[in-house]
Amino acid sequence: MPGAPLRVLWLTRAFPEPANSGEFLYSGGLIRSLAKTGAQISVIAHSRANTDPTSLLENNDLNRGIDRDGVKWNLVAPIQGGGRIWSLISQLPSDSRRLAKGGAAQALRRQLRRGAEATWDVAVIDQAANGWAVPMLVAARAKGRIRAIAYLSHNAEAQIRPQIAAAYEGPLPLRQAMRWDAAKYAKLERAICQASDLIGSITAEDASSFRVVFPGKAEAVLPPGWATPPEFQPISGDRPRRVILVGSFEWIAKRMNLERLLAAAEPILRQAGIEIQVAGKADPQFVSRLTHRFPALRFAANVEEVGPFLRKARVGLMPDELGGGFKLKSLDYIFHGIPIASLRPAAAGLPLRSGDHYLAADSFEDLAGQIVGAIDNTGRLNGMAGSAHEICLQHFRWESTGAKLDSALRRVAEFAEADRKARAAEAKGRGTPVSGDKPPLPVTALHRGNPL
C-alpha cells in the first residue's frame, strides 16, 4: 500500500451539491480535497431533490458510479421522511434509520461483495447518522474486505444532542421523543467510535472530548477550508446598518438558536435602528411566523447565493447556544470581509482572539449591546474583519486538510494491515486459523494522545 493510491469507501448523508448548509460544505470539501491527493474514492450517498438528473442521475449504476471531481458517486434515492412511530421503536436514531433506507444499505452491501477489486484500505463513516453501517463494516473488516474504519464526526453528538433535547420547550410528547432520540444518538456514537480505528474531529475541542472517552484512539483534527475567497472589500459608512445571520434552519437546534436570539436581541437592535437579515434554508411557515413577530427582521429564505446579502451587512452573527461543532458560516463572514459577533462557545475552532478579531459575548443581550456600540465604528469593524481575514486565509485551506486526512487514513490502514499480518503469522505458528474481528493491537506505536 505505501506509495499506491489510497482506496476509500465513503458513506455520507447526501450528494453535497448545492453546498447550501454547513454539513454539505464540510463533507463535500473533505471528499474533494482527499481526492486531490490521488485517493480513489467511491461515495455512497442519497441523491437530493434538487440534484440535476441530466448531469448526475441519468444511467446511475451502483456497480459503476458517476465520475465527478475524481470521485465515484453511487447515488441512491433521496432521503425520505415519515415513519415516526417506527423510528421511536427502532434502536437507531431517527436520522440514522432514514439514511439506512432508500437503497443505501443495498449499495454498501453491493460494494462489499464485488470481489477482489472491492478491497478497501479505509471505510469512512461521515457523521454519526451513518452509524447504521457499523455492523456491516465490522463484518467486512473481519473478512478482509476493508483494512480500517474511520469516523469523521461533525459534532460530539453524545454531548450536544442531550443539551438540545433538554433545552426544547415544546409539547411534552415531542420533548420525550427528542430525549429518547438523543440517548440513541449517544449510544450509536459510542458504537461508532469503539469500532473505528480513527476518529476525525472538526475542532480541537471535539477531539479532546472524544479523547477522554476513547483514550489511545488514533485521531485527526480536520478543519474546513475555503475554495476561492472573494477579494476583501472594506465596510464603508454608506453600507446599511445591518447585521446578518446565514445558515440552514431545517435542524431544530438552529431554529431554537434563532428564536432565542431574536427574543432577546431584536428589541435592542430595533431600538438602535439596526436591521437583522437572515438568509438560508427554512420552512416558509417558520419564516412567516418570525417575520410577523419581529419587526426588525428581514428573512430571505432558500436563496441560491448568500454573497450579495453578506456584502450589504456590517456584522455577521453566530448566536449558537446549541448544536456544537465548528460554524461554517464563520468562514462566509470572514472571507466576505465582515466581522463576527459571536457567543463564546460558537467561536470554537477559530484561530482568533475575542475583542481583537471578533466581538464575543456571554449572552444575547450582551451581544446586541456590543453590536450597538460598534456598528458605526467602521474603522474598528474593518480592523477586526481585515485581521481575521488574513489569519484565516492561512489557517483554513482544503489542500492542507486533504493532505492531513490522507496521511491519517494511510497510517491507520497500514497499521491495521500490519496487525492483520502479525495475527496471521501468530495463527500460522499455532496451526490455527485467524477468526473474528478481534480488537486491534495496542496503538501506542501509532498514536497516544497527539493528533495525527
- Which neighbouring-strand residues pair with 68? 71
More confident residue, 9 or 166: 9
Confidence of residue 426 (pLDDT cuts 50, 70, 90): confident
Distances (CA, A) of 31 to 164, 224, 296, 395: 29, 11, 40, 19
Average pLDDT, the chain: 85
User: What is the reported pLDDT for 58?
Assistant: 43
Determine contact, residues 195/134, Cβ cutoff 8 Å: yes
**Predicted model pTM:** 0.83
The answer to whether residue 135 scores a pLDDT higher than 80 is: yes
Query: What mean pLDDT comes out for the span 113-140?
Result: 88
Q: What are phi and psi of 168, to 5 degrees?
A: -70, 135
Query: What mean pLDDT comes out for the span 341-358?
Result: 91
Phi-psi region of 107 (alpha: psi -120 to 50; beta: other; left: phi over 0): alpha
Confidence of residue 371 (pLDDT cuts 50, 70, 90): very high
Query: What mean pLDDT comes out for the span 275-291?
Result: 89
**Other C-beta atoms within 10 Å of 340: how many?**
26
Query: What mean pLDDT comes out for the span 108-116?
Result: 79
Both ends of the chain: CA-CA distance in Å? Answer: 19
H-helix or E-strand containing 342?
Answer: strand 340-343
Q: What is the C-alpha separation between 347 and 349, in angstroms, rounded?
A: 6
Q: What is the C-alpha separation between 34 and 37, in angstroms, rounded?
A: 5
Residues 6+ apart with CB under 8 A from 87: 94, 97, 98, 181
Confidence of residue 431 (pLDDT cuts 50, 70, 90): low
H-helix or E-strand containing 427?
Answer: helix 398-430
* Residue 276 DSSP one-character state: E
- Residue 187: which of 161, 165, 211, 163 has the closest Cα? 161
Which of 8-12, 29-33, 223-227 is predicted least confidently? 223-227
H-helix or E-strand containing 149?
Answer: strand 146-152
Q: What is the C-alpha separation between 423 and 433, in angstroms, rounded?
A: 9
Q: What are phi and psi of 336, to 5 degrees?
A: -100, 5
User: What is the reported pLDDT for 95?
Assistant: 85
Which of 116-125, 307-316, 351-360, 380-389 is predicted least confidently? 116-125
More confident residue, 113 or 162: 113
Alpha-carbon radius of gyration of the chain? 23
The answer to whether residue 200 scores a pLDDT higher than 60 is: yes
